[in-house]
Amino acid sequence: MRKYVLLVLVLVPPGLALSAPGDAAAGKRAFARCASCHQVGPAARGAFGPQLNGIVGRRAGATADYSYSPAMKQSGIVWTEQTLAAFLKSPKEVVPGNQMRFWGIGDEQQIANLVAYLRTAQ
């Protein structure tokens, strides 16, 4: 799985999440499409997807209240702004075999906004 982390580092252009400053308020609005599976905030818990409080700096597959895929648990990824941006752009490329039913986001500004919002949920 470490090869996937290296692949992410190669595929992610330096500063992808920082190429356009993220707007946390716009990210909160964009998060509505994520909210059917993920939660953030004081009452957040794992449900159909893991809760995302404190995601920046957290090891992938590490919360106790969600049953992660073996691919996610073994990915070796620590979620940074760059790895989150790459994952939001193409989840299946960053963690092959993950169970998230999501194709990805092609709009880099929307990705930057989502990452900015998730950073506020620390």
> pLDDT at position 7, please?
46
Q: Where in the sequence is the domain holding 69, given as residue range(s)?
A: 2-14+22-120
Instruction: Give residue-wise pLDDT tens across range 2-32.
Output: 554 444 444 554 444 345 689 999 999 999 9
As a whole number of angstroms, the distance between CA 87 and CA 105 comes to 9
Phi and psi at 78, nearest 5°, equal: -110, 125
Asked if residue 118 lies in contact with residue 83, where contact means CB atoms within 8 angstroms, the answer is no
In the numeric block, the tokens 């994952």 are attached to 87
CATH of residue 34: 1.10.760.10
pLDDT of residue 9: 47
| Averaged pLDDT, 79-107 | 95
CA dihedral 92, 94, 95, 96 (to 10 degrees): 50
Residue with tokens 């449900």: 47
The tens digit of pLDDT for each residue in 38-91 reads 999 999 999 999 999 999 999 999 999 999 999 999 999 999 999 999 999 999
Our count of domains for the chain comes to: 1
- In the prediction, which pLDDT does 122 show? 82
